[in-house]
Amino acid sequence: MRGKKAPRRVIAPDPKYGSVTLAKFTNYLMSDGKKATAQAIVYEAFALVAERSSRDPLEIFSNAMKNVSPAMEVRSKRVGGANYQVPFPVRGDRKQSLAFRWLLGATRARKGKPMALRLADELLAASQGDGAAVKKRQDVQRMAESNRAFAHFAW
């Protein structure tokens, strides 16, 4: 490994809600460097969430993140000419990035509505424990559970 390890960037908290997690989520949503557009989508989705439910939108967002982030995942490992799907626990930062990716993937898969409305729908569904993002997490967890026999190959 050459050179120095790149320092971790400090992400400024979200200007409206003061949450670093929400700022990271906005950065994941952003495309082509259009942060203002991404923030507008997130804030509009949060307004819709607040309108539809009586709870705080930030609380619903954190609940959705908790329901979507996986505890276990599988990784391929080659042992003696065969590939095994070996279950591994997921670290905190990867857990968060997978949750962001799955939430936004499920949101983008819903077609026919504006992005803010789709995001609000997916956040509400994920906070209640259903929706495409939660289904993705359950599939990954089920895959890890079914391959528990290969856990001794973990490196």
Segment-wise mean pLDDT, segments of 10 residues, the chain, 155 residues = 91 95 96 96 96 93 96 89 88 94 96 96 96 95 86 73
Sequence-distant (6+) residues with CB within 8 A of 77 are 83, 84, 86, 150, 153, 154, 155
What pLDDT sits at residue 86? Answer: 87
Q: Tally Cβ neighbours within 10 Å of residue 53.
A: 16
Specify which residues 75 forms β-bridges with: 86
pLDDT at 154: 72
Residue 64 three-state SS: helix
What is the structure's pLDDT at 52?
94
The verdict on residue 43 lying in a domain is: yes
Pairwise CA distance, residues 87 & 70, whole Å: 12
State residue 155's pLDDT score. Answer: 65
What pLDDT is attached to residue 58? Answer: 95
- Tens of pLDDT, residue by residue over 122-146, are 999 999 999 999 999 999 999 988 8
Number of domains into which the chain is organized = 1
User: Cα 12 to chain center, whole Å?
Assistant: 19
* 75 part of a folded domain: yes
CATH of the domain at 55: 1.10.455.10
